[in-house]
Amino acid sequence: MSKIKPSKGAPYARILGVGGYRPIRVVPNEVILETIDSSDEWIRSRSGIETRHWANAEETVAAMSIEASGKAIADAGISAEQIGGVIVSTVSHFKQTPAVATEIADKLGTNKAAAFDISAGCAGFGYGLTLAKGMIVEGSAKYVLVIGVERLSDLTDLEDRATAFLFGDGAGAVVVGPSQEPAIGPTVWGSEGDKSETIKQTVPWTEYDSTGKFPAITQEGQAVFRWAVFEMAKVAQQALDAAGISSDDLDVFIPHQANERIIDSMVKTLKLPQSVTVARDVRTTGNTSAASIPLAMERLLATGEAKSGDTALVIGFGAGLVYAATVVTLP
């Protein structure tokens, strides 16, 4: 017989608050066209992107995270001292150690919260949300802060016609806490490492000095598009099935904001009713990887396009290739 006392956590978990931060500088397509041979019409037709935000020197990964997190904590109606865990998903914090989550936890004023970074690309928010849910149900924390943050402008090759127009910067955060009813569904997640070469950093950091060129993100656009459209629609449907609902029960669809053509194709494949609100934050924010879902969620709630208590399907997918989808009740 085990001598270990069983864990005592909440029966369920839910998102209690959301916050976002977009850098001050707004970058229209015209700026991108200074370094690539393309057109505003081509960029919009291929991606839906009109503008994106790029961070300045002061808008660091930590600084943007702190701004977004402060809003999420206030929205949740709790204090920073009550936060028991801080999970940061990012691929653009360039210090291998220490984790930027520890700096964020300290500057927010948490009481020595557990803090760590994860790297799961554009699926990072879903991964972090799943971990937070587990911590709350297991009982190791009552409230967990999940942050998706990127400065992808630092990893953008402005002369790469295939990717120069895609990426933006920003931070999105949510507070996850206890619930008496299911409000975060089962997560359908996984990886397809055999396709890892389709989205990657051009060279590892160890080769940076020898090449003389700063590493950037590159991708095989058509291969990624086909995978996202066909395979991720299946994953999204699996998440609906796991939550025990159909597309008719959905109020909101918040996919990773990678490309509006991908979003449109997924909506069509899933046969979502016209009554479902679809996040299209990509138009003015670009692809912010791990930050894209919480930023899109925050904007939908702020504009009134979505409301508290709505049932939303969220799905992230990207480099790895990795993915994560779940159904949530909006805060």
- Kindly list the catalytic residues: 122, 256, 287
Distance CA 269, CA 232 (A): 10
Give 305-309's long-range contacts (Cβ < 8 A, gap of 24+). Answer: 305/277, 306/251, 306/252, 306/277, 306/330
| 27: its two tokens | 């970058």
| 114: its two tokens | 């557990």
For residue 98, cis peptide bond before it (omega within 30 degrees of 0): yes
| 3: its two tokens | 């001598």
Angle (CA) 96-145-254 rounded to 5° is: 100
Q: H or E element: which one contains 193?
A: none
Distance CA 55, CA 153 (A): 8
Question: Alpha helices, DSSP H only, in 21-178?
Answer: 29-32, 40-47, 61-76, 100-108, 124-138
139: left (phi over 0), alpha (psi -120 to 50) or beta: left
First to last CA, the chain: 41
